[in-house]
Amino acid sequence: MKKTMFTIFIVALIIFVIDWGVMGVKLLDHNYEVMTETYIGLLCWIIMIGCALYKSFSNKCPHCGRLRLTNGDYCSYCGKKIC
């Protein structure tokens, strides 16, 4: 699931950057009708924040269930090896 969320994050980031490029070109061309691009950018932003929150709160120890602070081989709380 973590790899899927990372892939979704990367796709949303790429779409966000492309969307900003399209919006920038429109604004430089004095075309101020950018509502669609704004909604696409907002949706991408919400998806990226959701993926980041999921990643930060899903890093739990399988033994004690507490949130791990590091990505090391051992849990900070119970000291058991993380597989």
Q: What is the pLDDT of residues 23-42, one digit of tens each?
A: 999 999 999 998 999 999 99
Higher pLDDT, 66 or 45: 45
Q: Domain of residue 14: give its range.
A: 1-83
State the Cα–Cα distance between residues 30 and 26, nearest whole angstrom: 6
* pLDDT number for residue 12: 95
Q: How many domains does the chain contain in total?
A: 1
Q: Are 44 and 16 in contact (CB under 8 A)?
A: yes
State the Cα–Cα distance between residues 24 and 58, nearest whole angstrom: 36
% of the chain residues with pLDDT over 70: 99
Mean pLDDT in residue range 41-47? 95
Q: Tell whether pTM > 0.75.
A: no
**∠ CA 17-20-24 to the nearest 5 degrees?**
140
